[in-house]
A and B are shown apart, each in its own frame.
Chain A
Amino acid sequence: MTTMIKTQTAQTTQSRTSAVFAASFAMFFGVFMVYGVGFAQPAEIHNAAHDTRHSYAFPCH
């Protein structure tokens, strides 16, 4: 019985760790996307995303 609980706890801890790892990746991906559209310097990106930057109130110009 104790062994079963221990195994379950270990599995929960493991799946929690992998969940946090996956979420960290998603967070990094999300920040990268938002930064790319809202902050990236190249004039071409600025011009393409211009109206979006203004509408979302990212600092523009």
Chain B
Amino acid sequence: MLRRIMTTAIAAGVAAGLLLSVIHEFTTTPIILHAEEYENAAPDHHAALPDPILRELMENALHKAAFFPKNLNDPSRSLSRNQSDTLYDDRSGQFHLVGGTHEGGHGEEEAWGPADGWERTLFTTLANVLTGVGFAAILVACFVFSNTELSGRRGVIWGLAGFAAFTLAPALGLPPEVPGSMAAELEGRQLWWIGAVVATAAGLWLMVFNDKRLLHVAGLLLLLIPHLIGAPQPAELGGNAPPELAGHFAAASIVVSALFWVILGWTSGTLWQRLATTEA
């Protein structure tokens, strides 16, 4: 049984991951690269005062203000922005942007990262394949848990459920982000994302694989709960990425994910059915 599960998962995951890598090259990746031009153009991309005239006005106004806090090193007094604090220096009369790059981001020099070009494409493809195999393993495990008949066509429905749980539901609270957009703290967003996925998958399961009314209602509630709680949102808006790019990216990411899940579902369902005859 384990061999059948893993064979299906690996074959379907590799196929879907490779195909997705080709589609990404023409859809999401060009938008990411375009957005990075804006992100890299301004290293202090979380700064809220990009306009030099506005910045000078603010500096002067703050400099004259008698109540301006002297103890600038007190973290409780600093103006907190997304991993980037703006501090005002009394002596030089200038603003300083502290921690302008996000943690673990591509702005850090010490951390290794694939070079742009074929190396980056190679690593993205590898990551896509590994993700594909991971998602396929989860999907096939659910085939077994459900104890139902599978085929390519039924696999497509399973894939669409995966799309709903892993893409649609989290996208309502955390739309796909293009590099250089503003966002709340990472850990909080990751936690909400995982919660939304688990709640949506469990909710759908209760609604589909049960005959009891009460459990259908419970499933529906599970679908709603993450959105009633709400995803962590950034304190302020206005990242470097132009809104047109961000909107296009969100749409591209969701459409491509739908395609990926349909392909993954169909391939997994077909293979699962085929391998049944060889196993018995």
Closest Cβ of chain A to B87, distance in Å, is 22
B144 within 8 A of A: yes
Range, interface on chain A: 35 or more
A26 within 8 A of B: yes
B253 and A34 contact, CB distance less than 8 A:
no
Q: How far does the alpha carbon of A42 sit from the alpha carbon of B114 in the complex, in Å?
A: 14
The contact string, 1 if C-beta is below 8 Å from chain B, for chain A 26-38, is 1101111110111
Given known A-B contacts A52-B124, A57-B253, A59-B183, A19 and B144 have beta carbons under 8 A apart: yes
Q: How far does the alpha carbon of A59 sit from the alpha carbon of B114 in the complex, in Å?
A: 20
Q: Nearest B residue to A60 by beta-carbon distance?
A: B177
B193 and A52 contact, CB distance less than 8 A:
no
A22, A32, A54, A59 — which one has the most chain B CB atoms within 10 A of its CB?
A: A59
B120 and A37 contact, CB distance less than 8 A:
no
The segment from B64-72, B98-106, B208-216 that touches chain A is B98-106
B141 and A55 contact, CB distance less than 8 A:
no
Residues of A contacting B144 in the complex (Cβ-Cβ under 8 angstroms): 19-20, 22-23, 26
B257 within 8 A of A: yes
Given known A-B contacts A44-B112, A56-B257, A37 and B130 have beta carbons under 8 A apart: yes
Residues of B contacting A: mostly: helix
Q: Nearest B residue to A48 by beta-carbon distance?
A: B123
B190 and A26 contact, CB distance less than 8 A:
no
A23 and B9 contact, CB distance less than 8 A:
no
A-B contact number at CB 8 A: 162
B140 is contacted by which of A26, A31, A49 (Cβ under 8 Å)? A26
A22 is contacted by which of B5, B102, B176 (Cβ under 8 Å)? B5
A47 within 8 A of B: yes
B110, B134, B174, B176 — which one has the most chain A CB atoms within 10 A of its CB?
A: B134
The contact string, 1 if C-beta is below 8 Å from chain A, for chain B 180-206, is 000100100110010000000000000
| Interface pairs (27), CB distance under 8 Å | A19-B1, A20-B145, A22-B2, A23-B5, A26-B9, A27-B138, A27-B141, A30-B9, A30-B135, A31-B138, A34-B134, A37-B127, A37-B131, A39-B190, A44-B113, A46-B105, A51-B29, A52-B124, A52-B131, A54-B32, A54-B178, A54-B179, A55-B28, A55-B32, A56-B257, A60-B186, A61-B186
Binding site for A on B (CB under 8 A): 1-2, 5-6, 9, 24, 28-29, 32, 102-106, 108, 110-114, 120, 123-124, 126-128, 130-131, 133-145, 147, 167, 170-171, 174-179, 183, 186, 189-190, 193, 249-250, 253-254, 256-257
